[in-house]
Structure 1
Amino acid sequence: MSLDSDIEDFVSCLEHERRYSVATVASYRRTMKKAIEALSSQAPQIKAWTEIGINEMRILAREFNFGQDAQKLSSSSVAHDLYVLSSFFSFMVMKERLNQNPFELIKAPKVKRPLPKILTGAELSKLLDIEAKNPKELRDLAIAELLYSSGLRVSELTALRLSDYDAQEEEVRVVAGKGGKTRIVPVGGKARERIAAYLNSRSYFNPVDDALFVSRYGRAMTTRAVEQNLKKLAQKAGLNIDLFPHKLRHSFATELVENGADLRSVQEMLGHASLAATQIYTNLDYVHLRKVYDAAHPRAHIKSKEHR
C-alpha cells in the first residue's frame, strides 16, 4: 500500500472506530501530511511505510524536532507530533503491516501546562448582567450563561439539540466530541432563565432544524460564530479582555474547585477522560488560597530580616 492510503486507513479508524472529534482528526492528518512531505522531498525513493529505515527515521526526527538540542517548537507541539506518529505506527503494527513501532522508544518532552485563564467575579458579573435588547443578544447571553453554568466545550454547545435540554430536570445532555461519550450536566437557575428568554424568541431566527442555538440562517451555530459573538458581548459589557468560550469553561471548573467540589465530580462534569486533565484546577485553587492568605494573615508580609 502507498504512504497516503495507509494514512487514510488510519484517519478512517480515528473517525469511525475511535470516534475522535473533527478537530482532533484534522490535527492528526496535518501531522501525517507533514511526515509524507518530509519523506517525499528528502527520501523520494520511499513509497511505503514498510521501507522506513534508520535514515528515514532521522529525517522525521529532524522534521519534527525530536532531537535533544532542538528548540524550534514548543514542547507541547513536539509531544503532540510524536504521539501522532507513534499512534500511526502502532496502528500499522496492529494491522500487521509493520513488525514494530519505531517511535515507541522515543521519550516525549515534558510539557509544562500553563494555568487556565479565567474571568474574575467582577468580569463575570459585568458580562452576564447585560440587559438584552434583541433576540440575538438573548441568544448570546443564554450561550454565555450555559457555558459558565455547565462548563461545556464550545463544540459541545453547538451540537446541542432542543431535546438535549431539559428545563424541568434542570440539566442538559452533552455528547462530547472526544470519544462521543454522553454525560448529563446540571444547568443553573440563571442559565435556565436566560435560555427560557431565548427560546421564547427563537422563532425570530426562522429555525430549519432542531439545534438548540441557531444562527441568523436558522441552522446550528458554528463554533466560530459563537466565539465572535462572545467577543462582541464582552465589548458591549465594557470588558477589555479577549473572551473565548474556554475561559467560561475554565471559570466554571475553578469556581467548583475553590468551593470544595471533589475532583472526580468536576472531572465528570467537564467530560475529561482522565483525572490528570482536571488536576490543573487544583493549581489555580492554590493560587487563590495564596492570595487569600497574603491578604488576610497578619504575619504574611513580615520580611525575613525581622527574624534575624
Structure 2
Amino acid sequence: MSESTATLPNSLQKPLNRFYEFLRSEKGLSLHTQRNYKQQLETMAEHLVSMGLEHWDQIDAAWVRQLASKGMRDGMKPSSIATRLSSLRSFFDFLILRGDLSANPAKGVSAPRKQRPLPKNLDVDEVGQLLEVDDDNDPLSIRDRAMMELMYGAGLRLAELVDINIKDIKVSAGEIRVVGKGDKERKVPFSGEAKEWVGRWLKHRADFANGDEKALFVSKQGVRISHRNVQKRMAEWGQKQGVASHISPHKLRHSFATHVLESSNNLRAVQELLGHENISTTQIYTHLDFQHLAQAYDQAHPRAKKKDNS
C-alpha cells in the first residue's frame, strides 16, 4: 500500500506518531489495521494543511462533516467514509486521554447512508408483452392473469394481494379494500383489464375453493394461495411470454408506481395508492421518473449529444 510522502508540520505529525506507537504497543492491532489508520489520518492531515490549519484542536464537528461530504463527492463508498471517520474518532479519543483535547469533534458525525438501490421496473412495452396474450380458457391461467392484472392495475404488495377476501372486492365498482402494513386499511381503485380478468376468475373460483374459504385467490388445493406460489407462477408466466426481465410481484408494483407517476406527475396520489405512510418512501419513484425523462432528453434533444468530430 502506498504511503503518504507529504511532509506534515510537527504540530500534526508528532501526535500522529504517538498514536501509532499507542496502536502498536497497547492496542495490539494488526499491521494491516495500523497501516489503514495511518493512511486515513495522514490523508486528513494533508487536507488540514491545504486549508491552512496546523493543529488538531482546530478541527470541529463542521469540518468533520465537510470531510465526509467531500468523500462522497470524490466517489468514496459509504463504508470507506465510515472507516475514515472511525480512525479519526479513535485518534481524537487518544488525544483526549492524553489531555491534548477536551472533546471529540468526530463523535456525533456518521458516514452518509448507503443509497437505496432504485427498484427495477418494467417499461410499458414489457408489460404489454407480459399481459397481452392470446385468450386462455384454463382456469388457473385465468387466475394468474387476474392476479397480475390486479397487482399491476392497483399497485398492490404481494401480501395485500394474497390477503384479499371475496368480501373485500367490488368488481363492478372497481374497488378493493386493502389492509396494508401496520394493519392500515385503504381503498384502492382498479379498472379495465383487471376488472375483466378478476370477473372471469370469479366464475371459476367456486370450482376450486373449499366451502368456507374466504380468499379471493385460491390454489388447486382450494385454500388461500401462498406467497411462494404467486411468485413462482408469475416468474413462469414471464418466461413463457419471453420477457427478458425476471417477473416478480414487487416488480409489477414498482412498474405501476413508475407508470402512474410518469403519466400524472402526482406524487401524493401515488403515495395514497401505494399505501406509503411517509411520502419520503414514495419519492424514490421520482428518481426513476427523472431517469426516464433524462433518457428521453438524451435521445431527442438535438444538442444532448456531442458532435462526432472524427
Q: Bin the TM-score by the shorter chain.
A: 0.5 to 0.7
| Matching residue's letter, 1:142 | A
* Contact residue 82 and residue 110 of structure 2 kept, 8 A: no
Q: Output the CA distance in 2 between the equivalents of 1:198 and 1:108.
A: 51
Runs of 4+ in 1 over 6 A off after TM superposition: none
1:115 equivalent to 2:118? Answer yes
> 2:285 aligns to what?
281
* Contact residue 135 and residue 204 of structure 1 kept, 8 A: no
> For 1:179, what is the secondary structure of its paired residue?
helix
* Contact residue 174 and residue 182 of structure 1 kept, 8 A: yes
* Contact residue 120 and residue 254 of structure 2 kept, 8 A: yes
Q: Tell me: CA distance 1:194–1:109, structure 2 relative to 1, closer, same or farther (3 Å).
A: same
1:148 equivalent to 2:152? Answer yes
* Contact residue 122 and residue 245 of structure 2 kept, 8 A: no
> For 2:221, what is the secondary structure of its paired residue?
coil
* Contact residue 268 and residue 279 of structure 2 kept, 8 A: yes
Q: CA deviation at 1:132?
A: 2.2
> 1:3 aligns to what?
none
How high is the sequence identity, in percent, across the aligned residues?
A: 42
> For 2:216, what is the secondary structure of its paired residue?
coil
* Contact residue 174 and residue 190 of structure 2 kept, 8 A: yes
* Contact residue 162 and residue 227 of structure 2 kept, 8 A: yes
* Contact residue 132 and residue 141 of structure 1 kept, 8 A: no
> 2:83 aligns to what?
69
Q: Output the CA distance in 1 between the equivalents of 2:275 and 2:158.
A: 13
> 1:199 aligns to what?
202
Q: Tell me: CA distance 1:300–1:106, structure 2 relative to 1, closer, same or farther (3 Å).
A: closer
Q: Looking at both structures, which has the greater relative contact order when contacts are Cα pairs under 8 Å and sequence separation is at least 6?
A: 1
For residues 140-161 of structure 1, give each alpha carbon's deviation from its aligned partner in whole angstroms, at most 9, with x where no partner exists: 0000000000000000100000
> 1:129 aligns to what?
132
> For 1:174, what is the secondary structure of its paired residue?
strand
Q: TM-score, normalised by structure 2?
A: 0.62
Greater mean deviation of Cα atoms: 105-114 or 284-293: 105-114
Q: TM-score, normalised by structure 1?
A: 0.63
| Matching residue's letter, 1:161 | N
Q: Output the CA distance in 2 between the equivalents of 1:139 and 1:150.
A: 16
Q: Output the CA distance in 1 between the equivalents of 2:137 and 2:242.
A: 16
Give the aligned length: 206
Greater mean deviation of Cα atoms: 293-302 or 136-145: 293-302
* Contact residue 145 and residue 191 of structure 1 kept, 8 A: yes
Q: Output the CA distance in 2 between the equivalents of 1:295 and 1:277.
A: 30
| Matching residue's letter, 2:282 | T
Q: Tell me: CA distance 1:304–1:260, structure 2 relative to 1, closer, same or farther (3 Å).
A: farther
> 1:301 aligns to what?
305
> For 2:160, what is the secondary structure of its paired residue?
helix
* Contact residue 172 and residue 195 of structure 2 kept, 8 A: no
| Matching residue's letter, 1:217 | Q
> 1:239 aligns to what?
243
Taking the TM superposition and a 5 Å limit, the aligned residue runs for 1:1-308 are 68-69=82-83, 110-130=113-133, 131-176=135-180, 178-208=181-211, 209-303=213-307
> For 2:220, what is the secondary structure of its paired residue?
coil
Runs of 5+ in structure 2 lacking a partner?
1-78, 85-107
For residues 105-138 of structure 1, give each alpha carbon's deviation from its aligned partner in whole angstroms, at most 9, with x where no partner exists: 7958513011110112221111111232300000
> For 1:173, what is the secondary structure of its paired residue?
strand
Q: Output the CA distance in 2 between the equivalents of 1:219 and 1:161.
A: 12
Q: Output the CA distance in 1 between the equivalents of 2:228 and 2:237.
A: 14
> For 2:297, what is the secondary structure of its paired residue?
helix
Q: Output the CA distance in 2 between the equivalents of 1:261 and 1:200.
A: 37
Runs of 5+ in structure 1 lacking a partner?
1-64, 71-104
Q: CA deviation at 1:303?
A: 4.3
* Contact residue 205 and residue 216 of structure 1 kept, 8 A: yes
For residues 154-207 of structure 1, give each alpha carbon's deviation from its aligned partner in whole angstroms, at most 9, with x where no partner exists: 00100000011111221111001x210000111121100010111111123133
| Matching residue's letter, 2:301 | H
